[in-house]
Structure 1
Amino acid sequence: MCKINFSGKHKRAGFNHQVICTLDGRLLAITDPLPGSRHDAHAFRAHGLDQLLDSSTLADKGYVGLGLTTPTKRRPGLGLLREQKTNNRVLNRLRSVVERVIAQVKTWRILHTGFRRPLGLYGRVFSSGAGGWCFWLRGTPYE
């Protein structure tokens, strides 16, 4: 019997989530899971984020060609120009905050350990956990 989204190599199921946050580290949204091993560009389009975000959005090299601000990729056998390296350094410094938010999201128990329940329940369990965490970010109504 073949398990859907299951990696025999890693012995875990794979999902792709897209994380959107501000440059000051405030989490804005986490998309629902996209099953399987999918490229970030595919997940970006599948969730309709291309309709919501524009060229002012910073992204990593997995989003090249989608109209977002991304670092310049080095072509095989050629180096980057000094201006390109400087531009990449500036973008990467800004994105370091985003990477820390992603690292914090990955510490959630549902993402940190292997999901041991039936995979059909993953979306519901993740949504309830993410909703609680986003509520915690906003603060309690009693403050």
Structure 2
Amino acid sequence: DGTLIPTDRIKTDEPYYSQKHRKHGMNAQVIAAPDGTPLWFSRATPGRTHDLTAARSHGIVQACLTRQILVLADRAYQGAGATVRTPYYHHHEQPPQNQQFNRNHARLRTPGERALAQLKSWRLLRRARCSTRRIGTIIQAVHTLLTCDYSG
């Protein structure tokens, strides 16, 4: 999944403006284990980068396809490839089997959303006030802290 890390950029910093969120920020991609443990955080890309474009540029889509890894993703990743499962697009009325598939898909993805919640729980990343070049380093530091085993 992808998330926007809000920043305090100014209006002229157009690449960092996310039309979807209506704010400036940096896009970070997250790969999580089925239990919600964050496995990998990407380097940050400008906020206007679409999630699927970011996943392709980081090589996530190709790596999963090559290794035949089944990925559960949100609708932003539709068309990513054979191993990426996304929910059905919401038309006005869906057949009951599509509705059930979407419910099951959401239930299975819920633990993976926990990785994003853990990332966003860091106050430093709720609204980054540093250089956009440093956000990727901060995300990697947070990932290290989240995955460290402190039991000595």
Query: TM-score per shorter chain, which class?
Result: 0.7 to 0.9
| Whole-angstrom distance in 1 between the partners of 2:80 and 2:26 | 21
Within a 5 Å distance, the mapping from 1:1-143 to structure 2 comes to: 2-3=12-13, 5-7=15-17, 13-54=24-65, 56-67=70-81, 68-75=84-91, 78-112=92-126, 114-135=127-148, 139-140=149-150, 142=152
Percent identity between the two aligned chains:
30
Structure 1: which 5+ residue stretches go unaligned?
Answer: none
Q: Are the aligned partners of 2:40 and 2:143 in contact in 1 as well (CA < 8 Å)? A: no
Task: Report the Cα offset of residue 123 of structure 1.
Answer: 2.5
TM-score (norm 1): 0.79
Greater CA radius of gyration, 1 or 2? 1
Q: Are the aligned partners of 1:5 and 1:14 in contact in 2 as well (CA < 8 Å)? A: no
Q: Are the aligned partners of 2:36 and 2:113 in contact in 1 as well (CA < 8 Å)? A: no
Q: Are the aligned partners of 1:21 and 1:28 in contact in 2 as well (CA < 8 Å)? A: yes
Q: 1:79 to 1:12 in 2, by over 3 A?
A: closer
| Whole-angstrom distance in 1 between the partners of 2:121 and 2:111 | 16
* 1:69-104 deviations in Å (ceiling 9; x for gaps): 1111024xx421111111111111101111232122
**AA paired with 1:106?**
K
Structure with the higher fraction of residues in strand conformation: 2
**AA paired with 1:74?**
H
> 1 or 2 for the larger relative contact order (CA 8 Å, sep ≥6)?
2
Moved more, 118-127 or 82-91: 118-127
Q: Which runs of 4 or more aligned residues in structure 1 lie more than 4 Å from their structure 2 counterparts after TM superposition?
A: 4-7, 9-12
SS at match of 2:39: strand
Structure 2: which 5+ residue stretches go unaligned?
Answer: 1-9
SS at match of 1:131: helix
TM-score (norm 2): 0.75
Moved more, 81-90 or 49-58: 49-58
* 1:1-49 deviations in Å (ceiling 9; x for gaps): 8346454x98964111111111112211111101231111111111110
Q: 1:100 to 1:132 in 2, by over 3 A?
A: closer
